[in-house]
């Protein structure tokens, strides 16, 4: 059995004997034991076999994509979640640091760019508000000097 469309793979899966499925399952179990996860696609029988196997192992975490699935141990899943949370925190910290160092003038320039990107132009009122804010910033700097 080679590479098929999903519907043919599903049909072939239904026709497979338990012994044919068991060789696939041994491969998946070996990969999970070694790496903590395994992957298969639904365009061959492997995806269908792995899905059936995962359904009978509720301790496993299953991530189903459009045409594939990945099965992970709880430990690997939890580690990925922790890694993602740490990456999100680092990104948030970088973002906070960036906004701590930004000047009001740069913030207004960004605001103007975002408004133009969102609407394609600046309304007369938006232009007047930006001019007013730039003057206020300039006046505030002059007072401090």
Q: pLDDT value at position 83?
A: 96
Q: pLDDT value at position 99?
A: 84
Q: Do 63 and 111 lie in a common domain? A: no
Q: pLDDT value at position 2?
A: 47
Q: Does residue 47 fall inside a structural domain?
A: yes
Per the structure, the count of domains in the chain is 2
3-state SS, 49-103, equals HHHHHHHCCCCCEEEECCCEEEEECHHHHHHHHHHHHHHHHHHHHHHHHHHHHCC
Q: pLDDT value at position 125?
A: 92
Q: Is 4 exposed, middle or buried (0-12, 13-18, 19+ CB in 10 A)?
A: middle
Q: pLDDT value at position 57?
A: 94
pLDDT by residue for the chain (145 residues), tens only, comes to: 444 455 677 778 888 888 889 999 999 999 999 999 999 998 888 888 999 999 999 999 999 998 899 999 999 999 999 999 999 999 999 999 988 888 899 999 999 999 999 988 889 999 999 999 999 999 998 888 7
Q: Do 106 and 74 lie in a common domain? A: no
Q: pLDDT value at position 5?
A: 57
Q: Does residue 24 fall inside a structural domain?
A: yes
Range of the domain at 135: 102-145
**Of 78, 93, 111, which closes a domain?**
78
Read off the pTM.
Answer: 0.59
């Amino acid at each position: 059995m080679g590479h098929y469309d999903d519907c043919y793979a599903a049909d072939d899966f239904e026709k497979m004997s338990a012994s044919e499925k068991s060789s696939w399952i041994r491969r998946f179990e070996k990969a999970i034991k070694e790496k903590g996860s395994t992957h298969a696609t639904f365009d061959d029988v492997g995806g269908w076999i792995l899905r059936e196997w995962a359904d009978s192992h509720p301790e496993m975490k299953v991530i189903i994509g459009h045409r594939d699935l990945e099965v992970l141990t709880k430990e690997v899943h939890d580690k990925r979640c922790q890694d993602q949370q740490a990456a999100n925190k680092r990104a948030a910290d970088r973002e906070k640091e960036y906004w701590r160092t930004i000047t009001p003038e740069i913030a207004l320039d960004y605001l103007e760019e975002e408004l133009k990107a969102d609407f394609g132009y600046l309304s007369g009122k938006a232009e007047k508000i930006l001019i007013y804010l730039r003057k206020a910033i300039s006046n505030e700097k002059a007072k401090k000097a």
